[in-house]
Each structure stands twice: as C-alpha cells, then as structure tokens.
Structure 1
Amino acid sequence: MKDTCPSCLARDIAPAESRTRGDRTVDGYQCPNCRRTWTVTRDLTAYSELHARRAHNRTRKAAA
C-alpha cells in the first residue's frame, strides 16, 4: 500500500519493507525526496480478505 510523506508530502511512496505480525502489517517507508523515514501499522482485519492474503504472501516471499 502506498503512502504520502508526512514531511514533504510527496505522494505514492511504496514501502521499503513490510512485515506481518499476527493480524497486523507494519510497512516501513523512506521518502525518495527528503529521505524521511516512517512506519505505518495496519490492522488487516479492517481490510478485505484479498488485502490480508496479499500482505501475507508478500511477507512470506521476503522471509524466504
């Protein structure tokens, strides 16, 4: 899921790293413009089953 930089407001920044912890996913971002870093924690139960499955598959691939 893409995000907006909280510092310079650059848009559509893809996560640099993602991890799933139980029913939550933690995405780490770094802005390519100002180099600001931040994390976002999302509760996957608030999203559709499709989003939860994609997040789970993405994390499993990164761990391999």
Structure 2
Amino acid sequence: MNDNCPRCPRENVAPITELRDGTQVSHLYRCAGCGHVWSTNRDLGAYGEAA
C-alpha cells in the first residue's frame, strides 16, 4: 500500500518494508524526494484485506 509523503508533495511512495500481524499491517516509508522517513499502522479490515 503506497502513501503520500507528509513533508513534501511527493505522492505514491512505496513502502521499504512491511510487517503483517493478524489484522494489522505496518509499513515503513522513505521519501525519495526529501528523505523523510515515516511509518503507518493500519487495520486490514478497514481496507477489505482482513485475514
């Protein structure tokens, strides 16, 4: 699941790593534009991907 950089206008940033745990997924991102690093944690059920 790609994300938009929260610091600059770059869109569609691909995660550099992913961890799935039950119904949760965590992604780590690094923006190629500005170098900002951030993470997300999402409930897969909200995206129709629950295991």
What TM-score, normalized by structure 1, do the two folds share? 0.71
The within-5 A match list for 1:11-50 is: 11-48=11-48
Task: Give unpaired runs (5+ residues) of structure 1.
Answer: 54-64
Higher-helix-fraction structure:
1
What TM-score, normalized by structure 2, do the two folds share? 0.87
How many residues matched? Answer: 51
Higher-strand-fraction structure:
2
Task: Give unpaired runs (5+ residues) of structure 2.
Answer: none
Rg larger in structure: 1
TM-align CA RMSD: 1.3
